Amino acid sequence: MRPRPLPFTVLALAGTLLLGACGGGDDSDGDAGAGTVAAPGACAIGDLTVEAGPAAEAPVAGDTGNVPVNLTNRGEECVLDGFPGVRLEGGDTSVDVPADEAATAQQLTLAENVTATFTLTYVRGEGVDADQLRVSLPGGDQGAGLPWSYGPVAAAGGAPEASVSAFQQAGD
């Protein structure tokens, strides 16, 4: 018995299906690479709203206080990777606040209108008479200045008795 030839329409349909399945078409329609999403870049201080408080203020010398700092992204999705840079300033004095040695930095991706937070913990006492808190982002040299109204910060050997936590996602 002799095999019968397939009709032309069946052959044409099979060829079209094969070419489509193999990606053998022309990519000149502009969606080559479609589905690839670029990773967000580092957050820029100018795209964030930076606010401090409400604080659990240290009432007297020797007491410990905590000042939460919230950073809300007002730009495109971005990444915070590392610890915040924090500096206490007042008069001719300017001291950097170190990261909490027990904290571990994590990378956070902030969508638009999403908030990250960190906490500055300090001991009230003689040493640094600050009137401003300057916050910068990892790798950034610019900072946002906020008023400091939580009293003087104790210092030993020129270093403030204070530390900052890692960034954390605020809210849910």
pLDDT of residue 56: 96
Higher pLDDT among residues 124 and 9, named by residue:
124
pLDDT at 99 over 90: yes
pLDDT at 30 over 80: no
Pairing of strands 85-90, 132-136: antiparallel
Beta-strand runs (E) in 74-105: 78-81, 85-90, 93-97
pLDDT of residue 15: 43
Percentage of the chain beyond pLDDT 90 is 68
pLDDT digits (tens, 9 = 90+) for 39-92: 789 999 999 999 998 999 999 999 999 999 999 999 999 999 999 999 999 988
pLDDT digits (tens, 9 = 90+) for 154-167: 999 889 999 999 99
* List of domains in the chain: 41-169 (2.60.40)
pLDDT at 14 over 60: no
Mapped onto helix, strand or coil, the DSSP state of residue 170 is coil
